[in-house]
Amino acid sequence: RAHLQCPLDKDELGRATWSFLHTMAAYFPDNATKVQQKEMSAFMKIFAKYYPCEHCAKDFQVSIKESPPATVGREEFSLWLCKMHNEVNRKLGKPEFDCGRVDERWRDGWEDGTCDF
Ligand code: FAD
């Protein structure tokens, strides 16, 4: 794309960030240790403070306060993040994502094989 060598705009930053966050959740340990749980919760809270889109960060901090990160394991964390993303989708008038398919999207590939090559 033409903008590949330029600073990210809000949407490009959003897509890149969600890709990172959902992939990180997809590979979080199934049964996280107490330390891992604490660290990931802290990471998300600090992330929400420094996300470089001021109004996005403000709203995300409020969302995290209302529903704190679920970090006991991969499944819970992936679902929590999906719900957080859906909250932003709703705010922006975008369609909601079916959280039952979060592993297909971010870890295993779609069941119809469209990710196989
Ligand atoms: P994105 O929303 O970026 O999603 C990328 C892909 O993720 C989609 O194509 C889909 O395959 C998948 N996906 C969609 N929903 C889910 C889900 N619930 N769970 C799992 N996977 C999903 N933009 C603003 O204009 N205002 C804001 O206040 C704002 N706040 C943001 C807060 C955060 C923390 C982040 C990371 C981004 C925020 N953004 C905000 C950016 C916004 O969410 C989108 O990234 C941007 O609008 C581009 O949207 P998109 O349609 O390309 O898909």
Domain coordinates in residue numbering, the chain: 10-95
Q: Which of 18, 22, 102 to mutate to test the pocket of ligand 1 (most atoms within 8 A of CB)?
A: 18
Q: Which of 42, 67, 47 is nearest to 57 (CA)?
A: 47
Distance CA 79, CA 22 (A): 10
The tokens describing 18, both together, are: 């969600």
For the Cβ of 61 lying below 6 angstroms from any atom of ligand 1, the answer is no
Whose CA is closest to atom 20 on ligand 1?
A: 82
Spatial contact of 66 and 84, defined as CB atoms under 8 Å apart: no
Check residue 69 and give its pLDDT.
98
Across 92-115, average pLDDT: 97
Q: Which of 43, 80, 85, 103 to mutate to test the pocket of ligand 1 (most atoms within 8 A of CB)?
A: 85
Check residue 117 and give its pLDDT.
81
pLDDT band at 2 (very low <50, low <70, confident <90, very high): low
The tokens describing 37, both together, are: 């749980």
How far away, in angstroms, is 116 Cα from ligand 1 center? 24
Its pTM stands at 0.97
pLDDT tens profile 20-47: 999 999 999 999 999 999 999 999 999 9
Distance CA 109, CA 28 (A): 17
Q: Which CATH superfamily is domain 10-95 in?
A: ERV/ALR sulfhydryl oxidase domain (1.20.120.310)
Largest CA distance in the chain: 45
Check residue 38 and give its pLDDT.
98
Distance CA 100, CA 82 (A): 9
